[in-house]
Amino acid sequence: MKIQTCSVVVGNEACNADCPFCVGKMTTSVMKDVCPINERNFLKTCELMRICGTTTVLFTGKGEPTLFPDQITQYLTLMIPYNFPFIELQTNGIMLYGAKLPLKKWYNLGLTTVAVSLFDASGVLERKLFDRSNAPDDYETLVKMLHVAGLQARASCVMLNGGVDGVESLKRFLERCREYKFDQVTLRPMAVPNMLRTGSESERRADWCKSHALKECDIEAVTNFVRTEGTKIMTLPHGAQVFDYDGQNICLTDCLTESPDSDNLRQIIYYPDGRLTYSWQHEGARLL
């Protein structure tokens, strides 16, 4: 069996933004309280990753990972003996402003890339979704800060109506990413999980997603533009494609793909309490 990515859940469901399309709030729940990392099970997970050729570890969350910097540091420290090639952090970016996160320390412990959420070419959606009352809306400075620490910066875009929703809005978005000097761009259409978490909040978010989701023709237009105007340089095992678009790295992917090949898992998912699963949607997909 081969495993491409291990998604490591940091913290609990606490978040300093309230994105109505948050997949984490629509899929299986995690502990409401922050619990200590189950180091025994995490080291077993690291050994499984080593055996199965995992190349990427992604710090993510059901909430916002950077609200729990000590836990990120602990995970990185535990992984040192395994020297995984790519260790990434997914964030809404809010805490990168003025929070004095130990970016250089994380770099020295092995972190390679920080993926920051962006949604449109103007910043309107970020200001609408994120609480930036105590932080400047300055992504150029944010990217510079990551580069000074030695880290790569990736713009991670969920495509939805009112944001990147067609070819022209995509062009403007890519100009914005180039202006801010993002090293990589990831594009994924907004998704509604097949298996929703029970509860009115999950259903409310699912309804919002359905009313703001791109039409198939819009997704196809964006995809065809990247494929026509860019040069494909890589296809990842789970089907995501990477292109060079006038020197800009662009990855076309999705939010919730399951691995159709039982011998090749797109990802495994580790939770701080020691759970190890291989699906965000199905609680029965459990290894530990």
Domain residue spans of the chain: 2-277
pLDDT score of 208: 82
pLDDT score of 137: 67
The whole-angstrom distance between residue 98's C-alpha and the CA centroid of its chain comes to 22
pLDDT score of 97: 78
Count of CB atoms situated within 10 Å of the CB of 169:
19
Measured distance CA(124)–CA(144) in Å, rounded: 22
Alpha helices in the chain (DSSP H): 39-51, 69-79, 103-108, 124-129, 139-148, 167-180, 200-212, 216-229
Measured distance CA(92)–CA(94) in Å, rounded: 6
**Letter for the amino acid at 227?**
R
pLDDT in tens, the chain (288 residues): 889 899 999 999 888 888 878 776 776 666 677 889 999 999 999 999 999 999 999 999 988 999 999 999 999 999 999 999 999 999 988 888 766 899 999 999 999 999 999 888 777 777 776 655 544 468 888 999 999 999 999 999 999 998 999 999 999 999 999 999 999 999 999 877 665 666 667 778 888 888 888 999 999 999 999 999 999 999 987 778 999 999 999 999 875 545 555 567 778 999 999 999 988 777 788 899
pLDDT score of 199: 66
Look at residue 263 and give its three-state secondary structure. Answer: coil
Contact between residue 155 and residue 185 where contact means Cβ atoms under 8 Å apart: yes
Tell me the sheet residues that pair with 67: none
pLDDT score of 22: 77
Say if domain 2-277 classifies as CATH 3.20.20.70.
Answer: yes
